[in-house]
Amino acid sequence: MAADENANKSTDSGVTGGMPGVADLLSLLGGASPLIAVGRVVETVTQVAGEIVKSIATLNDTMNELNRVAHRVNDLLDEIEAPIKEIVPTVQTTVKQARGTLKKVDGLIGQVGTLPADVTKAVSTLGDLAGRLAPLTQFAEMAGGMFGMKSTPSS
């Protein structure tokens, strides 16, 4: 019987390459090769890496598009900056003069008391003009503020 046990030991050690227990480990795995499991892990890692590469490429495309849009906006601002810088002082001066004229005319009305209908209509027109120019003044001040220009105080 001792000879049979020695034969089994030599057979087992020959099958497992001289490492006792490897055959037991393989039988516990149900005959599945550890190389198959490693192959599956490598395949999963490869798929995840591919998805990460796709996500990075999409992010890169998005950033390129945002960069193009930013360049277009900058070009547009560069185009309108000079005309606005030229218009803003003129509009501010015109509104200031219209307000000054209206104040002078109002002072005259108070002194004279009554004016002919045509002069009253002209004063009314100047008042209407000053009122209509008010939104333009606000626009000019906002546009001037965008380009670092300070608004002139009105009289």
Q: Is 137 exposed, middle or buried (0-12, 13-18, 19+ CB in 10 A)?
A: buried
pLDDT of residue 7: 45
Return the pLDDT at 1. Answer: 46
Residue 88 pLDDT exceeds 60: yes
Measured CA distances, 38 to 23, 41, 78, 92 (Å) = 19, 5, 59, 77
Is residue 76 within 8 Å of 68, Cβ to Cβ? no
Q: Give the model's confidence band at 96: pLDDT under 50 very low, under 70 low, under 90 confident, else very high.
A: confident
Q: Comparing C-alpha atoms, which of 132, 151, 133, 134 is closest to residue 142?
A: 151
Residue 68 confidence class, pLDDT cut points 50, 70, 90: very high
Mean pLDDT throughout 40-60?
90
- Scanning the structure block, which residue is given the tokens 């490897």? 22
Q: What is the mean pLDDT of residues 38-47?
A: 84
Note the pLDDT of residue 66: 93
Mean pLDDT of all residues in 30-56: 81
pLDDT for residue 113: 57
- Say what the pTM is: 0.38
- 75-94 as b/e: b if 16+ CB within 10 A: eeeeeeeeebeeebeebbee
Q: What is the mean pLDDT of residues 25-45?
A: 71
